[in-house]
Structure 1
């Protein structure tokens, strides 16, 4: 476990540094929103394109892994919906528990995959991102539309438009086309993309830390507990079971389980605010899960061997 924890330690140290930079105002508070934005729309898409363009996807049997990720995520979503009354929360609060139970932090995921498994792990993680971002967004928007404070229903065209414009999905498609077509990394522009990609992980992780709300974490209650248990423990277990069922083995098995053990993404807070979810509870879920992941991710990986 010491080796795994040592590999992941720099990731969580960067997150803590980001929190300290904002907490003690060592950089202007106005810096963080544009920093997170440029990371999301430029640096991280460049990282995904760069990795996939150089990857040999034929070396991986990604379809069984993809099936396992989808089935496990749908199972977790179904369990959360079935247990809504048992949790005893109102509609807006439940939407935050639901998002916390299925959404994943791509920044932490890509950084962990690179630290533990290098380029092959990063490639498989990029495949997972391209696959699950549409799924978790559709599920989250559907639940917010039905249970959020401003529940009015959401039209399918608006959901589809948001997915088509998502920069991470676009990047995954571009990267896959480059590698599957045999074109690989393009000259000149490929070097620019590679340079931009280097900024993705450090700036992304610092932004995650800057977004943590430790004050809100002190008020963690039943909703935070349910969401965290589902996301950090139950969903990885469901993913492992699905991997066994679909015959997923080796690195693909480990990356799939690690991927679905990631803490909730900061983007869940924005969606909660926009669609009438309990954004205060959402901020607490994100903070608590990010802190707990420093312990749960090494534990999951050690259990996997």
Structure 2
């Protein structure tokens, strides 16, 4: 199991890139006009290429990981249900802004696939990478659809039309189909796609930092606390319960707990901002989730160690 210091070191690059974006936007000539264009580049090109490449490059062995896949989908669906239910809960629901919730519900169930990939290999070896590839291939399309739905519904822009036009959903669905058909990326193209993927992560995190306005978090504290509690407390506990019920082996349980406790996806900010919602609020949640991951990852892995 990884120690707390190692988790902090693993999350530091993400946090530092967010901080760089915030500093550059506020204290240099690289102001909002620049970052608006960066967001468009990330949303319409860099992130779609990253998602397609991440899914298509590893064969999905559903048979060998059926129990893990069941548990992972169970964790994801639990996060979606809990996030969607917040506006309808007694007391809490009346104090939650529905538009802010539509944009930020995704924080509760989406995950940072890069951190997942980095950790899976360290907690479960090469086998862990194949396991997490299966979870990414199945859950990324599901989570992207779940992220778009409340925003499309609240804006009354037509859910089907938003899905058909959303570049992240198109890329993930195309990648999953290509993977299932056995299609791969030519070897000569791999380095280019890998570099595009790396640039999308860096620019996406910096754009999230550039868009942060912590004052917006203060106006939606209850919603922020609720979503982050689902992401970093409820989902690890649900993952641990499913690991026990489904009798996952040690490697599968370690991968599942990593999947359930990592910070939320950095692309959450870009998606919310490009769909016309409060991007700064979502960017603040991405930052807080990255920090909270330093505690939730050791907590989750400690559960299975017991």
**1:103 maps to what in 2?**
107
Structure 2 stretches of 5 or more lacking a match?
122-128
Alignment counterpart, residue 90 of structure 2, candidates 80, 85, 88: 85
Correspondence list, 1:22-171, <5 A:
22-25=25-28, 27-58=30-61, 61=64, 63-79=66-82, 81=85, 84-87=89-92, 89-90=94-95, 93-94=97-98, 96-97=100-101, 100-103=104-107, 109-117=112-120, 120=130, 123-124=133-134, 126-127=136-137, 128-138=139-149, 140-141=150-151, 145=154, 154=156, 158-171=158-171
Correspondence list, 1:141-220, <5 A:
141=151, 145=154, 154=156, 158-186=158-186, 192-218=192-218
TM normalised by structure 2 equals 0.74
How far apart are 1:234 and its partner, in Å?
A: 1.0
The number of aligned residues is 289
Alpha-carbon deviations, 1:87-121, whole Å to 9, x = none? 1534x615535764553686x71231233235547
- Partner-residue secondary structure (3-state), 2:212: coil
How far apart are 1:44 and its partner, in Å?
A: 2.1
Structure 2 Cα separation of the partners of residues 113 and 177 of structure 1: 22
**2:126 maps to what in 1?**
none
How far apart are 1:243 and its partner, in Å?
A: 4.3
* Contact 2:232–2:296, Cα closer than 8 Å, also in 1: yes
* Contact 2:239–2:260, Cα closer than 8 Å, also in 1: yes
CA RMSD of aligned residues (A): 3.7
Structure 2 Cα separation of the partners of residues 244 and 258 of structure 1: 15
- Partner-residue secondary structure (3-state), 1:182: coil
Alpha-carbon deviations, 1:253-282, whole Å to 9, x = none? 4444444443372257448955xxx88866
Alpha-carbon deviations, 1:40-94, whole Å to 9, x = none? 222222223333333122277455444434433444454562762231534x615
CA shift in 2, pair 1:298/1:203, >3 Å: farther
Q: Which moved more, 1:290-299 or 1:35-44?
A: 290-299
How far apart are 1:176 and its partner, in Å?
A: 3.2
